Amino acid sequence: MATLSPDVSLLTGRVAVVTGAARGIGRAIAEAFGAFGAHVAVCDKDKPRGELAMTFDVRDPVAAEVFAQAVRERWGRVDVLVNNAGGTFHAAFADTSVRGERTLIEENFTQVTGMIRLMLPMMGPGASIINVTSSEAHQAAPGFAVYAAMKAALESLTKSLALEFAPLGVRVNAIAPDGLPTEGEALVRARMGEGLPYEPMRLPPLGQLGRPEDAAGAAVFLAGDLARFVTGTTVHVDGGIHAAGGWRRTATPTAT
């Protein structure tokens, strides 16, 4: 990218891999990448749609290897890896079994390190990894303690790998969403604070909820050359929830 101009090609011809792309944020990212000219490989435990699409649970290392092999055979390289798949269930920590905890760790952390191990050998200078975390990685999350801890671990991983992969010319960043209605978000939001003496923020400072496409906008930026000098950081796509900390916007702002 010599100069910044509206003609800059953002993702044309790039090869992108997006996990958890059957719905929600992952689907919005995959569709946006395609619209900006990338070849997109997608996977999900529910049937995803895309140029190269495979249905499997990302916690299954053998299936993930088959997926990586299919990407290698089709394009021989990976320019963008978006680790988006993830999720949680609501339970107080005292009610979370060892098995439940292991599921959350594998679903939100171990499968990500596994996917990076598989895709990194296909990545070279200019490539980028985007880990989808959560604003809950940055704050307490009663009822979602292990999930939030794993998202915080992903934030830490993002910074360390940004340094380890910098000599390879591979950037590593995170997107921390919140307040983007999706099927997964609806399930989580419906049970927030349930059975525990806490209430979540209901209204982001921007005064409305966002859309999965808002996260896709950040992903298109981070994936391409506009972000060539951006690594080891997090873009919060949350209408100001992270910035607000303990502050809550009232439903009807007072006129000044």
Q: Which residues bind ligand NAD (CB under 6 A)?
A: 20, 22-26, 44-46, 57-59, 84-87, 107, 132, 134, 177-180, 182-185
For 232: left if phi > 0, alpha if psi spans -120 to 50, otherwise beta; the answer is: left
Q: Pairing relation of β-strands 39-44 and 128-132?
A: unpaired
Instruction: Determine what percent of the chain falls in helix, strand and coil, rounding each to the nearest 5.
Output: 45, 15, 45
As measured in angstroms, the least distance from the Cβ of 110 to ligand NAD is 10
As measured in angstroms, the least distance from the Cβ of 87 to ligand NAD is 5
Q: Could you tell me which residues are beta bridge partners of residue 43?
A: 19, 54
As measured in angstroms, the least distance from the Cβ of 96 to ligand NAD is 17
Residues 80/11, Cβ–Cβ less than 8 Å: yes
- Catalytic site residue 147? yes
Q: Which residue, 256, 255, 217, is CA-closest to 236?
A: 217
Among the options 67, 75, 147, 165, which is catalytic? Answer: 147
Nearer to ligand NAD, 24 or 224 (CB): 24
Nearer to ligand NAD, 87 or 100 (CB): 87
CA distance 126 to 123: 8
Q: Which residue's entry shows tokens 């100069």?
A: 3
Identity of residue 34: G
Nearer to ligand NAD, 65 or 183 (CB): 183
Nearer to ligand NAD, 43 or 161 (CB): 43
As measured in angstroms, the least distance from the Cβ of 107 to ligand NAD is 5
Separation of first and last alpha carbons in the chain:
46
CA distance 14 to 16: 6
As measured in angstroms, the least distance from the Cβ of 106 to ligand NAD is 8
Residues 219/29, Cβ–Cβ less than 8 Å: yes
Nearer to ligand NAD, 34 or 184 (CB): 184
Identity of residue 137: A
Nearer to ligand NAD, 51 or 106 (CB): 106
As measured in angstroms, the least distance from the Cβ of 48 to ligand NAD is 7
CA distance 144 to 203: 20
CA distance 79 to 153: 24
Active site residues: 147
